Amino acid sequence: MSLESELRRERVSHLHLSGFTVVPTGTTVRDALGQMQAERKTVCLVTQEGQLAGIFTERDVLRKVIDKPEALNGPINSVMTADPVSIGPNASAAAALGLMDKHHIRNLPVVDDQGQIVGSMTHKSVIDWLAGRYPVEVLNRPPDPERFPRKA
């Protein structure tokens, strides 16, 4: 079986999706950043009445907050990406990667049919899956892939 066909068969829900924190709309940027830092997360999913309303990442901090210190006391709604692209947990890993590539995003919220957040998929989710599936091939690569150790 090829890697492509395995990624088409693998469901998003089977990947590691826990690298995020959650805050409600109206939370200050300062408080959201504090929670992200305390939980050691780089992705913050913003909810409104329990439903995904937006996403705020370390990239947003660099693009929308760092040059505007006054934004720290404002609501997360003013700097988040509203209505982010998301995917369902039963979608294939290949479809999720395609969506991430198409929209040039690094974090893809995973939301079930009822609109509840299941997780956040990243490229690292797929790399972790690959490392578990193909540990020798992924984890034992030499620094220069074209160079192989000599046999004595």
Dist. CA 47–CA 26, nearest whole Å: 10
Average confidence (pLDDT) over 120-149: 75
- Domain 3-135 falls under CATH 3.10.580.10: yes
Q: Which of 110, 126, 136, 88 is nearest to 4 (CA)?
A: 126
With a threshold of 0.95, does the pTM exceed it? no
CB-CB contact of 37 with 60 (8 Å):
no
Confidence of residue 127 (pLDDT cuts 50, 70, 90): confident
Domain ranges of the chain: 3-135
What would the pLDDT profile of 3-44 be if each residue is shown by its tens digit? 788 888 989 998 989 889 999 999 999 999 999 999 999 999
Give me the half-sphere count of Cα atoms (radius 13 Å) on the Cβ side of residue 42.
Answer: 10
What would the pLDDT profile of 43-63 be if each residue is shown by its tens digit? 999 999 989 999 999 999 999
Burial class (CB in 10 A: 0-12, 13-18, 19+), 38: exposed
Structure tokens at 91: 């979608």
Which stretches of the chain are DSSP H helices?
3-9, 29-39, 58-60, 93-103, 123-133, 135-139
